[in-house]
Protein backbone atom coordinates (compact mmCIF):
# COMPACT_ATOMS: atom_id res chain seq x y z
CA UNK A 1 0.00 0.00 0.00
CA UNK A 2 2.84 2.40 0.89
CA UNK A 3 4.42 1.69 -2.47
CA UNK A 4 1.19 2.53 -4.32
CA UNK A 5 0.84 5.78 -2.36
CA UNK A 6 4.47 6.64 -3.14
CA UNK A 7 3.96 6.05 -6.85
CA UNK A 8 0.75 8.09 -6.77
CA UNK A 9 2.54 10.99 -5.01
CA UNK A 10 5.34 10.84 -7.56
CA UNK A 11 2.84 11.00 -10.44
CA UNK A 12 1.10 14.03 -8.92
CA UNK A 13 4.44 15.79 -8.42
CA UNK A 14 5.43 15.03 -12.03
CA UNK A 15 2.17 16.44 -13.42
CA UNK A 16 2.47 19.54 -11.24
CA UNK A 17 6.01 20.16 -12.47
CA UNK A 18 4.95 19.66 -16.11
CA UNK A 19 2.04 22.09 -15.69
CA UNK A 20 4.36 24.71 -14.15
CA UNK A 21 6.83 24.30 -17.01
CA UNK A 22 4.01 24.59 -19.54
CA UNK A 23 2.87 27.93 -18.08
CA UNK A 24 6.42 29.32 -18.32
CA UNK A 25 6.38 28.49 -22.03
CA UNK A 26 3.33 30.70 -22.69
CA UNK A 27 4.10 34.28 -23.74
CA UNK A 28 1.82 37.28 -24.28
CA UNK A 29 3.00 40.21 -26.38
CA UNK A 30 1.56 43.22 -28.20
CA UNK A 31 2.56 44.18 -31.73
CA UNK A 32 1.43 46.88 -34.13
CA UNK A 33 -0.57 45.56 -37.06
CA UNK A 34 -1.85 47.80 -39.86
CA UNK A 35 -5.53 47.62 -40.72
CA UNK A 36 -8.69 49.71 -40.90
CA UNK A 37 -11.94 47.84 -40.25
CA UNK A 38 -13.85 44.85 -38.94
CA UNK A 39 -12.89 42.79 -41.99
CA UNK A 40 -9.24 43.53 -41.20
CA UNK A 41 -9.77 42.46 -37.58
CA UNK A 42 -11.13 39.08 -38.64
CA UNK A 43 -8.40 38.54 -41.25
CA UNK A 44 -5.58 39.58 -38.87
CA UNK A 45 -6.82 37.40 -36.03
CA UNK A 46 -7.37 34.41 -38.34
CA UNK A 47 -3.89 34.80 -39.83
CA UNK A 48 -2.38 35.00 -36.34
CA UNK A 49 -3.87 31.64 -35.33
CA UNK A 50 -1.03 29.40 -36.43
CA UNK A 51 -0.08 26.27 -34.42
CA UNK A 52 1.04 27.31 -30.94
CA UNK A 53 -1.10 30.45 -30.76
CA UNK A 54 -3.58 30.42 -27.89
CA UNK A 55 -5.19 33.85 -28.25
CA UNK A 56 -5.13 36.71 -30.76
CA UNK A 57 -7.10 39.94 -30.43
CA UNK A 58 -6.60 43.00 -32.64
CA UNK A 59 -7.81 46.43 -31.51
CA UNK A 60 -8.94 48.57 -34.45
CA UNK A 61 -8.39 51.84 -32.54
CA UNK A 62 -4.87 51.20 -31.22
CA UNK A 63 -3.82 48.96 -34.15
CA UNK A 64 -2.34 46.56 -31.59
CA UNK A 65 -2.59 42.81 -31.66
CA UNK A 66 -2.40 41.09 -28.29
CA UNK A 67 -1.03 37.64 -28.95
CA UNK A 68 -0.63 34.75 -26.52
CA UNK A 69 1.40 31.83 -27.79
CA UNK A 70 3.52 28.86 -26.78
CA UNK A 71 7.14 29.85 -27.46
CA UNK A 72 8.22 26.21 -27.86
CA UNK A 73 5.83 25.80 -30.81
CA UNK A 74 6.07 29.13 -32.64
CA UNK A 75 7.75 32.52 -32.54
CA UNK A 76 6.53 36.08 -32.75
CA UNK A 77 8.34 36.39 -36.08
CA UNK A 78 6.44 33.40 -37.52
CA UNK A 79 3.16 34.96 -36.40
CA UNK A 80 4.12 38.30 -37.97
CA UNK A 81 5.01 36.52 -41.23
CA UNK A 82 1.61 34.79 -41.32
CA UNK A 83 -0.20 38.11 -40.81
CA UNK A 84 1.95 39.83 -43.46
CA UNK A 85 1.09 37.02 -45.89
CA UNK A 86 -2.56 37.96 -45.32
CA UNK A 87 -1.74 41.52 -46.49
CA UNK A 88 -1.15 43.39 -43.22
CA UNK A 89 2.11 44.89 -41.97
CA UNK A 90 2.81 43.20 -38.63
CA UNK A 91 5.54 44.29 -36.25
CA UNK A 92 8.85 44.15 -38.11
CA UNK A 93 7.41 42.22 -41.08
CA UNK A 94 5.88 44.18 -43.96
CA UNK A 95 3.29 42.73 -46.32
CA UNK A 96 4.46 42.27 -49.90
CA UNK A 97 2.84 44.54 -52.50
CA UNK A 98 1.17 41.46 -54.02
CA UNK A 99 -0.38 40.42 -50.68
CA UNK A 100 -1.36 44.01 -49.83
CA UNK A 101 -3.01 44.47 -53.23
CA UNK A 102 -5.16 41.38 -52.60
CA UNK A 103 -6.93 43.16 -49.73
CA UNK A 104 -10.46 44.49 -50.34
CA UNK A 105 -10.50 48.20 -51.18
CA UNK A 106 -11.99 49.14 -47.79
CA UNK A 107 -9.02 47.49 -46.07
CA UNK A 108 -6.35 49.59 -47.80
CA UNK A 109 -4.36 51.10 -44.94
CA UNK A 110 -1.45 52.70 -46.81
CA UNK A 111 -1.89 56.40 -47.48
CA UNK A 112 -1.27 57.69 -50.95
CA UNK A 113 1.51 60.21 -51.25
CA UNK A 114 1.50 63.28 -53.49
CA UNK A 115 3.79 61.36 -55.88
CA UNK A 116 1.06 58.72 -56.34
CA UNK A 117 -1.38 61.20 -57.93
- CATH of 22-104 among 3.30.70.100, 3.40.50.1950, 1.10.10.60, 3.50.50.60: 3.30.70.100
Q: What is the mean pLDDT of residues 45-69?
A: 97
- Average pLDDT over the chain reads 85
List, for residues 68-84, the tens digit of each pLDDT value.
Answer: 999 999 999 999 999 99
Domain boundaries along the sequence of the chain: 22-104
User: Is a pLDDT exceeding 60 seen at residue 5?
Assistant: no
74-83, Cβ contacts within 8 angstroms, sequence gap of 24 or more? 74/50, 76/27, 76/29, 76/31, 78/50, 79/48, 79/50, 79/53, 80/31, 82/47, 82/48, 82/50, 83/33, 83/44, 83/47, 83/48
Amino acid sequence: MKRILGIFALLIASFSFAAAQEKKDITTEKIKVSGTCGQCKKRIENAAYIPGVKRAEWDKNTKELTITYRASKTSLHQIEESIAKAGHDAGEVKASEKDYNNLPECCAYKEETAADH
